[in-house]
Each structure stands twice: as C-alpha cells, then as structure tokens.
C-alpha cells in the first residue's frame, strides 16, 4: 500500500467524528474503514490497518462495500475497481453513494446499496491525493484506488471491465449523427472560458450537429446546436453520450461516462496529464485522444496546484478557434468526414 495512505477501522459500536484540517468533519460508522492520513487526532477506538486487501482476505470477508459521497466521476471510477476486486479476489463488492446514482450504478454491473453490506471501506479523500502527493501523481486514479487499498501486483488496463447494459431509452430525441460538447470541467480550474465555448460551438455547428451539455449560463444560442444544458438526469446523459459519434470534453464526469458507453472522445486537458485520465479508456489510443493545452505554454501538468502561473491556469486560456483547430483532425475521423 502506498505510504501516503493510513487506513483504520472504527472498532467502537458508535459513530465516531473525525476533524480534518480546515475544520471539516467526517462521521465514521462502526466497523467502517477510512483513510486517516490527514487527521491530526485519531480517536483511540480506531485500529490501524496496514493493508486493506490483506485485512479482508485474511479474515475471509466475502462482502465489501466501497463508499464514496463526492464527485460523480470519481464515484464512477469505483465501478471498474469493484469489478476488478471481484475478478481477482472473489469478493462480492457493492457501492454506496448518494441517491441520484441509484438509476445508473446497477446498469454498470455492480450492486448499489443504501446501507453497508459486509465490511465498508470509505474512499472519500483518496484519489484527491494526486493533487498534492507526488507519489500518487504517477498513477491513473483507478490504479490509485487499488494501490491505496494495498494492491501490489502489476496492473494493466485490459484487466478492467467497463461493460454496461445501457440501451436507447428513447429520450431525449436527437435526430441524425451528432457530437457532444462539454467545455466545463468538474471545477472552474479545469474549464474553458465561456467566450471560448461559444466560439467553438459556432464553428463546430457549421459542420456538425452538436449537443451541448454544460451549464446554460452565458451560452449564446446558435443553429444546429441542441442545448441539453443540465436539463436531463444522469441516466439520460448516459443515453445522450451512448448515441453520440464522439464526445469533446474536459476533465469531468462525461469523460468517465464515455468509458462505459465506449464513445470516442477527445479530452481537453491542461492541469492533468493525459495518461492519468484517458489511458484506461477501452478505445485508447485510437478512439480516445487528448489535447494537452499546457504543452503550448511549456508548462508541466500541475494537478491543479498552479503555483507556476499564480493559480491563473493559463493553459486553459485558449480561444474557441484555437481549440477547434487542435481537435479538428480527431473530430473529422470520429464523425466520418
């Protein structure tokens, strides 16, 4: 297990409260395992676990719940992790998360529970360590989950199972071939400026039908663009991306959805290196491409720790035309032009 993680189990019979830096608070249920590496004062009721996978196997635990409450993309990445643990170790793995994912997770081949089943391992605050810990920055976030849990074996992208059973649910109705465009990342520091998004939509819509799935604020309406604009549920978003010829997106949940739907994708990246985001895509490398914007300004990917540019994220300061010029070759191939 990577040294930057320190998991421990709440051995008491009551909920324990842990204070994190910045006065954030987490509640740990009895029998729940959680990373305590960033906790200053750990209650005595917690028993440290050097290797979570070994702990599970040594005790012949057959059912495990992986719990996470934040970030849709990071939650979706737990699905191939759960499948891998089942395939390699014979574990029956469930996922516990917030309710608006209950219509999606079962379609991805993993059981979802509202209450813990078997041993519960909380994975909140785990993959986020790649923002600050260099040891973690060499791993794709899926592998980071597994390394955090204690996996030491060699790991290949072909070991992952992205299968899902999504079909055309009949909504929303979008006639003809189209691409999906999403210029907003999971945070503003992984997003394009709206002026660039609007310019890109104007250019792309002259040649292709475009479905825009980002926020509606500051978006200028143009012909040949279907404005989904966060009007649809997550299962509908899966459906939209499933039927698309390709997806253009930032580092955000739609990128991970495209892994399951096996939709060709061009990821527009800057603060994050491509190998940490698209190298496990089932269509990689021909059908999963990345534009590394930070290369244009001779800046290394900073994992959102943008000290070199005084947190201005200059790599994302690109015009819509410059973006379209960069993605044009890939888009033409994916759209069949």
Confidence at residue 171, expressed as pLDDT on a 0 to 100 scale = 59
CATH topology assigned to domain 179-335: Rossmann fold (3.40.50)
Q: Where are the domains of the chain?
A: 7-155, 179-335
Distance CA 275, CA 253 (A): 17
Contact criterion met (CB below 8 Å) for 91 and 64: yes
pTM: 0.92
pLDDT at 167: 60
pLDDT at residue 331 in the model: 97
CA 54 to CA 48: how far, in whole Å? Answer: 13
- Three-state helix/strand/coil letters over 13-45: CCCEEEECHHHCEEEECCCEEEECCCCCCCCCC
Q: For residue 170, what is the DSSP state?
A: S
pLDDT by residue, tens only, the chain of 337 residues: 688 999 999 999 999 988 877 768 888 999 999 999 988 778 788 999 999 999 999 999 999 999 999 889 999 999 999 999 999 999 999 999 987 788 889 889 999 898 888 999 999 999 999 888 888 888 999 999 999 999 988 888 889 999 988 665 555 668 889 999 999 887 667 789 999 999 999 999 999 999 999 888 889 999 999 998 778 888 888 989 999 999 999 999 999 999 999 999 999 998 788 888 999 999 999 999 999 988 887 877 766 666 566 666 777 889 999 999 999 999 999 998 6
């Amino acid at each position: 297990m990577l040294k930057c993680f320190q998991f421990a189990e709440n051995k008491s019979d009551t909920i324990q409260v842990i204070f994190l830096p910045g006065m954030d608070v987490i509640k740990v249920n009895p029998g729940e395992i959680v990373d305590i590496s960033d906790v200053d004062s750990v209650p005595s009721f917690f028993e440290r676990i050097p290797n979570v996978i070994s702990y599970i196997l040594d005790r012949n635990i057959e059912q495990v719940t992986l719990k996470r409450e934040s970030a849709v993309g990071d939650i979706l990445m737990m699905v191939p992790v759960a499948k891998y643990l089942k395939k390699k170790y014979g574990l029956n793995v469930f996922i516990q998360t917030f309710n608006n994912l209950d219509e999606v997770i079962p379609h991805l081949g993993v059981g979802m529970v509202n209450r813990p089943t078997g041993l519960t391992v909380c994975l909140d605050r785990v993959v986020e360590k790649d923002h600050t810990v260099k040891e973690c920055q060499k791993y794709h976030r899926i592998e980071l989950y597994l390394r955090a849990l204690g996996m030491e074996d060699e790991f290949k992208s072909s070991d992952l199972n992205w299968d899902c059973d999504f079909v055309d649910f009949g909504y929303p109705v979008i006639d003809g071939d189209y691409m999906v465009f999403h210029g907003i990342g999971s945070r503003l520091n992984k997003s394009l400026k709206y002026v660039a998004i609007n310019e890109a939509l104007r250019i792309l819509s002259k040649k292709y039908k475009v479905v825009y799935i980002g926020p509606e604020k500051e978006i200028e309406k143009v012909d040949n663009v279907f404005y989904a604009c966060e009007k649809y549920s997550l299962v509908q978003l899966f459906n939209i991306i499933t039927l698309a010829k390709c997806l253009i997106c930032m580092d955000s949940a739609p990128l991970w959805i495209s892994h399951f739907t096996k939709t060709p994708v061009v990821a527009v990246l800057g603060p994050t290196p491509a190998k940490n985001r698209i190298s496990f895509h089932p269509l990689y490398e021909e059908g999963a491409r990345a534009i590394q914007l930070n290369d244009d300004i001779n800046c290394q990917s900073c994992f959102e720790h943008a000290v070199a540019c005084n947190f201005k994220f200059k790599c994302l300061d690109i015009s819509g035309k410059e973006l379209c010029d960069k993605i044009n070759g890939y888009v033409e191939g994916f759209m069949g032009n």
